[in-house]
Structure 1
Amino acid sequence: MGKDKGLVNYHGTPQREYLYFLLKKVCDSVFLSIRQEQLPETPTSFKTVVDQDKYNGPFNGIMSAFDAHPNVGWLVIACDLPFMDLPSLQQLIGKRNSEKSATAFKNPDTGNPEPLCCIWEPKGLKEALDFLKNSDYPSPKQFLMDAGILLVQPKNKQVLFNANSLSDYKFVKSKLKEQEGG
C-alpha cells in the first residue's frame, strides 16, 4: 500500500484506532502490536506490545504478545481487515473453544484458517514456540493448519477481505459508502 496500513483511514479514523476501539467492546484489555519505530507516533492512551524481533513475519507480533502475557488467550486481528465488525468479533468469541490451540475464522475461498483473525490460546502459543524452533517455514497459517484448532465459518465473509493496495483501498471506501447508503 506504500504506507503503514494501520494509519489508513476507512472509518473516519486511522484503522488501528478503529480496531482498537472495536476490540474494547469485546475484550478486557486491548493492545496495539507495533514495531519500536512506531512507538513515538502511537497515542500514549493506547496499550502497546512492542515487537521483540525474535521471529519473522506475523509470528513476531503474535509471539511478542505471548511473551508479554503468556497466560491469556489473544484475539489477534490484523489492521488490514477494513470490513471487520462487531457482530463478526462476537461470532468468533462466541464459538471460542479454549481447549483447542486456537479458534480461527476459516477463509471461505481457501478453506484455510486466518491466523490474523484468530483467538490464540496459551496452549497453542506454547505449541507454536516448538513449531518455530523446528520449522523451515515459520508461517502462522501453516502452524494452524497442522494444529488442533476450531475453524469458524464467518457469517460475513467480507470481514476477511485483506486490503493491501491502493485499488483495495478504493474498493473498500466504495463498499463502505454503499453500506452507509450514500
Structure 2
Amino acid sequence: MISYQDLVKHFGSSLSDKDLQSFLANLCSDLTDYNILEHDYIISQQIGIEFGFTNNSAVYEVDEGVVFENGNPVFTHFVLHPKSSTLIIDLPFDVNFTDNRIAIIKKAGNPSLTKEGYIKFLEKDFLVDNYKVGDIIITFDYDTEKKTINHIQVRDNNLAADHLKL
C-alpha cells in the first residue's frame, strides 16, 4: 500500500527512466502500452489508476495514424478511480471514495476553482472541484446527482499540458 504522494514523487520522470519503469511494474501487472495516437495514459484496470504523460516533443499525425518521432513522454498526472483504494491508502486531504462533496469541502476547504456544466458530445453533466496545493492540482470529479467521487486527478501544474493547467 502506498500514499498518493509516492506517485507525486515521480512527476517529471521520463517514461524511459528505469526507476519509473520499475516503480510502475511493481505496482501493476496489467499496464497498457503507451501509444500517443490513442491517448496520453498508461492504464491499470486491475488497480484503477491511469498514469498520465505529457509529450511535447512527439511528432505525429493522428488522422493518418503515423508517429514520426516518439518524443519523450514525461509523467505529469494520474487519475485514481475508486478501485485504487485497495492500493492507495492515503488520499489527498484524507478523503476517501465514500465521501460526498460536502464532506470533501469540510476536509479540504473551499475549492480554488469549481467547474460545472454539460458536455454535449458525451451528453452528460459534469461537476469538478479543483484545489491548488503549491504546484500540485487536485481535481475531484463528481457524480452530479449523488455528489460522490467518480475519480480524483492529481497533476503537476508546471509540467502538465496547457489544457490541464490551473
Is TM > 0.5 for Structure 1 vs Structure 2? no
Greater fraction of residues in helix: 1
Greater fraction of residues in strand: 2
Please report the TM-score for the alignment, with normalisation by the length of structure 1: 0.28
